[in-house]
Amino acid sequence: MNKLAIITGGTKGIGKALVEKFASQGFDILTCARNTSDLESLKSTICELNKDVQIVTCVADLSTKKGREVILETYKTLNRTVDVLVNNAGLFVVGQIHNEAEGVLENQIQTNLMSAYDISRGIIPGMISKKVGTIFNICSTASIVPYVSGGSYCISKFALLGMTKVLREEMKEHNIRVTAVLPGATLTASWEGVDLPKERFMKPEDVADAIWGVYNLSNQTVVEELLLRPQLGDI
């Protein structure tokens, strides 16, 4: 039986690149997004390129508790344990703490932090039972370097990095590896409309390749933080 990877937010950017990478390496995939047509297109493409893998999708808005329950309930129907969990789903809203719209902080905390928290809690018991598993939380360089116009996004990503560090300590004794991934500017939908050449950004596929490399280290080694930036530095 193939190994199973759960990758949230799998239809765009880094998430899509991760789905493509892990499927190409023989993993079955469970992923989610908010748009049905995007999920159907992704599933069709992955199945066409990878005949021996299964891809299961579900429509879920991970900014809500109900949406997070949807993906966990879908996972339960598979009756399998998870080898790799990638908490990738995220939201970026431009703003500053003193002037951003009411509710922006709450929405980004729910999407960027609570989705990873709730889904990890739902998946980890199965990993503990097998004494094996790897969790990647997609943080950001905004997790370590605050910037103007980052506002609540920076707050949520700082919090996600903190959660990842705590989870790493908790999972040591269970032989479960936990890695915080901190990508800088990556050519994703978050940067649409920005007047910069694409060469100024990292490729989502490069981030996915780096994560795949970390996963393939022996179980004796964990990369606690994977920091990636464009060659010319932050934007």
Query: For the chain, what's the residue count?
Result: 235
Largest distance between two CA atoms of the chain: 52
Among 58, 18, 68, which Cα is nearest to 188's? 18
What is the Cβ-side half-sphere exposure of residue 88, based on CA atoms within 13 angstroms? Answer: 28
Catalytic residues: 153
Instruction: Identify the three-state secondary structure at position 18.
Output: helix
Asked if 109 and 155 count as a contact pair (C-beta separation under 8 A), the reply is yes
Among 118, 51, 120, 112, which Cα is nearest to 84's? 120
Q: Cα separation of 84 and 215, whole Å?
A: 9
Q: Cα separation of 157 and 105, whole Å?
A: 11
The dihedrals phi and psi of 94, each to the nearest 5 degrees, come to -65, 140
Tokens of 161: 């990095």
With both helix axes pointing from N to C terminus, report the angle between 204-215 and 13-24 in degrees, rounded to the nearest 10. 50
Q: Cα separation of 181 and 211, whole Å?
A: 8
The dihedrals phi and psi of 4, each to the nearest 5 degrees, come to -120, 130
